[in-house]
DNA sequence: CCGTCGACTGTTTTT
DNA sequence: CAGTCGACGG
């Protein structure tokens, strides 16, 4: 938050020499070199689990501790805010308070800081809004409609992704128009929309996600003086996860590491804000050289090409930065050899990679466990059972994680976990800040903080319902345009809009609520409001606008949840005040705009983590379950056609495998229901890339289909119901791998795999309710799927009472009494 | 202007 | 299958 220009390395700290030894203790030779090498550019190729975070933090700590750099001269870029927080903590742990004043943040946060400082230089104000992808889509939707571009097959989504790609390549609207084929009407439409989109952003004093990076680069290029201020300030730049940087991010780093030409330092540049401070031993030749750059990455873990990450940034690093030093970290300190061997042989199938061989001295460890379920529910039950077994063997829930390729796969897992009373937490999924009510609340705040933001004002115009519809919205917009004022300001003149008296009153009321909140959040007196004002202002807005009342009056059961979410949001604002004593509403909005899923996974001890493979990057667990290891899922169907797609999918799988410390489970299902239809799934090609002797199949794909038995009734019905006789499911010559003939009773099948197709497909909806069925130790029950069993214990309270049951054939299970399909015998 | 109904349409990963 | 979108009638 602050420049910390007054913070001086603690003089009472350890003596440099002994501190140095402590910092370097326990490093292997390569790590040692990565920490101590000094030069203009350093690439640390860090295989999975090779201790790169440790290397990076020690490198920073050493710079500080040896007085080679002041905290404020260090810029460290991480992939997520969480990683940034962790790194800051670890550096602080090594060198104490000295760590304050460093910039450790994501690309996006760092750019926001720069842009806010420099906003006035190029037509924005410090309180600009950050549009998330939902906001951009909404804006584009309006523009596409205005341009009637859907006739050219241009959807808002398509336009959005094209614009995003262009921005990641640093092409702006004019640049695009210049090189586009303007004789193609569709192209021209798109170019117009792009230009309008950009104009609308500017008018609203807003940046979208991609702008944050691209505009910073443009700023540096257009104003070398501004760039020089930051070049002079940041003498040591470190970038984590370099393999996932895109072209814009790469260019930003290039800009920042350029040498400073001519021109004396201007300590008070940039609107009088002190941007850098005198160097400890200011030597003038040093101050003109480019900053030293350290990047850490692993091209085998590049999984964001779809979002513009350019793997060449890392593969061509040595060419980009001549004289760069490369250090390879190949010893893995995380996983057992079996897990590593599997990972190595999988990733070895990617052809254009630099060979690298991770090794471990932890010994072979457990074999990888494989399981093939009949359905996704069957698979989920396997995961839940296995989790319980590990728990009983002493593995903490928080040390277990379940990964999947797509978010939608979490449903089946979630459902089974609830039934089995396995505590879990889903990282990601529908994000808190994407919920409509939260976005509404945010729009209210934005309308106050950045009144130029038309989108925000339009959003809240009729929320809650106050009778202001499309027609009135247009009138207001027209009035604003005619008078050259913002949409927000147009609300101040309800009488002149040519709308009825009822509407005038409604508009006036909204205007006065906004005005009142403005007085709380940004007092006209100009005095700095207390940080608690954010929560206060929010409460004012939600109460006086009638938003809360409308939700309370509603009889839609979902609205109760919305109220709770808003309460939580107010609590977030209060927390913010506590954690950021100098925080303003703009700071609050920034923080909210830039938090991601991966950020709030504060290792809530005691629960199993569920997440996508992408979210899993950078994390590690004792036990890992990679689920849905099927063709069309991983590798995902959509990636098949894209160049480099399958290879990226392989890397994704590799990332999943290498998260595991001690135990790895790979599972799949033979049938999977998607969009209400059951389809046949094939084992992923990646499974065959793992040496067979490393996997202990509890139930292999072969077991499942060669027995011919047990296929889902739904599937069967579908087949006989004229699905076409086409060659589905027989690609490997096995003809009827799913047995067309007579179907089998379920005797002889393992209890686990019985009748999973009878599980409801919905998490919500038809939840069984046993009311307050009383069960006591010793009671016998019958479960729809597991058969008969004996209650061994009952724990928990009320709706969360859990029965611990030993089934006669299915073994030990925990069941949530309220919803388990059980009857007392 | 609001609410409902029916049709439609996506369905990969995210700062 | 779900969630969104557009059309329509009150």
SS (H, E, C) A658-694: CCEEEEEEEEEECEEEECCEEEECCECHHHHHCCHHH
Q: Which nucleotide in the DNA or RNA is closest to residue A673, CA to C1'? A: C1
Among A269-273, A423-427, A525-529, A789-793, which is the least confidently predicted range? A269-273
User: How far, in Å, is the CA of A25 from the C1' of nucleotide B10?
Assistant: 54
Residue A760 has pLDDT above 50, yes or no: no
Q: Which residue has the tokens 């938090």?
A: A595
Is the pLDDT at A275 greater than 50, yes or no? Answer: no
DSSP type of residue A798 = G
Phi, psi of A643 (to 5 degrees): -60, 130
pLDDT-derived band at A525, boundaries 50, 70, 90: confident
Give the pLDDT score at A813: 81
Q: Which of A301, A518, A615, A647 is catalytic?
A: A301
For residues A127 and A450, the answer to whether their CB atoms sit within 8 Å is yes
A647 is catalytic: no
In the annotated binding site of A for ATP, the residues are: 46-53
How would DSSP label each residue in A290-327? PPEEEEEE-GGG---GGGTB-THHHHTHHHHSTT-EEE
Query: Is residue A276 predicted with pLDDT exceeding 60?
Result: no
**Is residue A544 among the annotated active site residues?**
no
Which pLDDT does position A624 carry in this prediction? 95
CB atoms within 10 A of CB A761: 17
Question: Per residue in A38-75, pLDDT tens?
Answer: 988 999 998 888 988 889 999 998 888 878 888 888 99
Long-range contacts of A122-128 (CB under 8 A, 24+ apart): A122/A219, A122/A222, A122/A223, A123/A202, A124/A202, A124/A205, A124/A207, A125/A205, A125/A450, A125/A452, A126/A586, A127/A205, A127/A449, A127/A450, A127/A586, A128/A205, A128/A206, A128/A207, A128/A450
Q: What is d(CA A78, CA A162) in angstroms, rounded to the nearest whole number?
A: 26
3-state secondary structure of A91: helix
Angle, CA of A259, A263 and A267, to the nearest 5°: 95
Average pLDDT of the residues in A511-535: 87
The answer to whether strand C lies under 7 Å from the CB of residue A761 is yes
Instruction: Quote the pLDDT of residue A242.
Output: 92
Angle between helices A436-449 and A501-521 (to 10 degrees): 70
User: Does the reported pTM lie above 0.85?
Assistant: no
User: Using CA atoms, how far apart are residues A227 and A766, in angstroms rounded to an integer?
Assistant: 60
Local structure of A405: helix, strand or coil: coil
Q: Residue A116: phi, psi to the nearest 5?
A: -65, -40
- Report the distance separating Cα A480 and Cα A204, nearest Å: 13
The 10s digit of each residue's pLDDT in A713-742 is 233 333 322 222 233 333 333 333 333 333
Distance A658 CA to B12 C1' (A): 21
Residue located via tokens 């691209």: A214
DSSP A113-144: HHHHHHGGGGT--TT-EEE-HHHHHHHHHHHH
Strand C nucleotides with an atom less than 7 Å from a protein beta carbon? 1-2, 5
Residue A631 confidence (pLDDT) above 80 = yes
A20, A33, A53, A622: the active-site residue: A53
Residue from A189, A200, A195 nearest A148 by CA: A189
Taking C1' of B2 and every protein CA, the nearest residue is: A467
CA of A286 to C1' of B7 (A): 68
Please tell me which residue in A118, A196, A210, A240 is annotated as part of the active site.
Answer: A240
Is A685 part of the annotated catalytic residue set? no
What is residue A597's predicted lDDT score, i.e. its pLDDT? Answer: 56
Tally Cβ neighbours within 10 Å of residue A406: 13
A198 catalytic residue (yes or no): no
Q: Is A425 exposed, middle or buried (0-12, 13-18, 19+ CB in 10 A)?
A: middle
Confidence of residue A429 (pLDDT cuts 50, 70, 90): low
| Helix axes A209-222 and A247-257, enclosed angle (nearest 10) | 30
Q: Which residue has the higher pLDDT, A463 or A34?
A: A34
pLDDT in tens, A130-189: 988 888 888 888 887 777 776 676 777 888 888 888 898 898 888 888 887 777 777 888
Whether residue A4 is predicted with pLDDT greater than 80 in this model: the reply is no
The Cα A315–Cα A354 span in angstroms is 9
Q: Which residue is nearest to nucleotide B13 (CA to C1')?
A: A614
Distance in angstroms: CA A498, C1' C7 = 28
A800 catalytic per annotation: no
CA distance linking residue A482 with residue A491, whole number of Å: 14
Length of chain A equals 825
Q: Is A659 a catalytic residue?
A: yes
pLDDT of residue A764: 29
Catalytic residue among A356, A405, A659, A661: A659
Q: Is the CB of A762 under 7 A from strand C?
A: yes
């Amino acid at each position: 938050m602050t420049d910390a220009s007054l913070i001086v390395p603690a003089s009472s700290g350890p003596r440099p020499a002994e501190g140095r030894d402590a910092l370097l203790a326990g490093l292997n030779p390569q790590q040692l070199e990565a920490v101590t090498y000094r030069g203009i550019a350093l690439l640390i190729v860090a295989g999975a689990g090779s201790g790169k975070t440790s290397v990076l933090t020690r490198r920073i700590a050493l710079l500080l501790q040896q007085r080679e750099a002041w905290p404020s001269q260090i810029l460290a870029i991480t992939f997520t805010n969480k990683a940034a927080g962790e790194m800051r903590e670890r550096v602080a742990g090594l060198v104490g308070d000295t760590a304050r004043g460093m910039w450790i943040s994501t690309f996006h946060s760092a750019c926001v800081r720069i842009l806010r400082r420099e906003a006035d230089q190029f037509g924005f104000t410090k309180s600009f809004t950050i549009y998330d992808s939902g906001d951009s889509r909404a804006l584009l939707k309006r523009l596409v409609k205005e341009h009637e571009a859907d006739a050219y097959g241009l959807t808002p989504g398509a336009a959005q992704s094209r614009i995003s790609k262009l921005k990641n390549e640093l092409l702006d609207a004019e640049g695009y128009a210049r090189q586009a084929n303007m004789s193609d009407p569709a192209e021209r439409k798109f170019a117009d929309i792009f230009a309008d989109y950009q104009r609308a952003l500017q008018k609203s004093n807003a940046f979208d996600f991609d702008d944050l990076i691209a505009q910073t680069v443009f700023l540096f290029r257009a104003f070398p003086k501004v760039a020089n201020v930051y070049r002079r300030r940041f003498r040591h730049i470190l970038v984590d996860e370099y393999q996932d940087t895109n072209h814009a991010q790469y260019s930003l780093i290039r800009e920042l590491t350029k040498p400073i030409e001519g021109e004396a330092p201007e300590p008070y540049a940039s609107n009088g804000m002190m941007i850098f401070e005198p160097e400890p031993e200011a030597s003038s030749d040093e101050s003109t050289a480019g900053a030293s750059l350290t990047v850490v990455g692993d091209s085998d873990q590049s999984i964001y090409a779809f979002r513009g990450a350019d793997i060449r940034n890392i593969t061509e690093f040595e060419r980009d930065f001549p004289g760069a030093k490369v250090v390879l970290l190949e010893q893995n300190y995380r996983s057992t050899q079996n897990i590593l061997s599997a990972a190595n042989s999988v990733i070895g199938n990617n052809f254009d990679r630099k060979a690298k061989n991770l090794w471990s001295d932890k010994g072979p460890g457990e074999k990888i466990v494989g399981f093939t379920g009949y359905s996704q529910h069957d698979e989920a039950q396997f995961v839940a059972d296995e989790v319980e077994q590990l728990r009983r063997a002493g593995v903490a829930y928080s040390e277990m994680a379940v990964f999947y390729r797509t978010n939608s796969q979490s449903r089946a897992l979630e459902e089974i976990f609830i039934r089995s009373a396995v505590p879990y937490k889903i990282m990601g999924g529908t994000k808190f800040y994407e919920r409509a009510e939260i976005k509404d609340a945010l729009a209210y705040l934005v309308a106050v903080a950045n009144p130029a933001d038309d989108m925000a004002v339009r959003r809240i115009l009729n929320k809650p319902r106050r009778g202001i519809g499309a027609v009135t919205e247009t009138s207001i917009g027209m009035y604003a345009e005619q008078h050259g004022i913002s949409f927000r300001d147009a609300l101040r003149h309800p009488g002149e809009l040519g709308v009825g008296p009822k509407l005038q009153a409604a508009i006036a009321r909204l205007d006065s609520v906004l005005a009142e909140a403005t007085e709380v959040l940004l007092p006209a007196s100009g005095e700095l409001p207390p940080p608690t004002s954010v929560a206060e202002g929010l409460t004012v807005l939600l109460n006086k606008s009638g938003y809360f009342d409308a939700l309370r009056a509603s009889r839609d059961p979902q609205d109760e949840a919305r109220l709770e979410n808003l309460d939580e949001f107010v609590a977030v604002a209060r927390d913010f005040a506590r954690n950021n004593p100098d925080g303003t509403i703009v700071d609050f909005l920034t923080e909210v705009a830039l938090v991601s899923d991966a950020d709030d996974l504060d290792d809530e001890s005691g629960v199993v983590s569920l997440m996508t493979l992408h979210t899993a990057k950078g994390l590690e667990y004792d036990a890992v379950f990679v689920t849905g290891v099927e063709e069309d899922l991983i590798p995902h169907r959509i990636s098949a056609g894209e160049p480099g797609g399958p290879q990226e999918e392989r890397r994704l799988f590799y990332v999943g495998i290498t998260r595991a410390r001690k135990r790895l489970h790979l599972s799949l299902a033979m049938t999977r229901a998607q969009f209400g239809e059951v389809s046949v799934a094939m084992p992923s090609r990646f499974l065959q890339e793992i040496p067979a002797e490393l996997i202990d199949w509890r139930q292999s794909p072969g077991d499942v289909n060669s027995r011919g038995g047990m296929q889902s009734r739904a599937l069967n019905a579908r087949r006989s119901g004229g699905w076409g006789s086409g060659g589905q499911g027989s690609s490997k010559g096995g003809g009827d791998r799913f047995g067309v003939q007579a179907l089998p009773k379920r005797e002889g099948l393992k209890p686990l795999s019985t009748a999973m197709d009878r599980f409801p497909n919905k998490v919500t909806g038809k939840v069984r309710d046993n009311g307050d069925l009383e069960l006591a130790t010793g009671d016998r029950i019958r479960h729809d799927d597991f058969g008969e069993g004996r209650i061994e214990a009952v724990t928990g309270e009320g709706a969360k009472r859990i029965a611990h049951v030993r089934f006669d054939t299915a073994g030990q299970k925990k069941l949530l009494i309220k919803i388990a399909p059980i009857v007392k015998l």
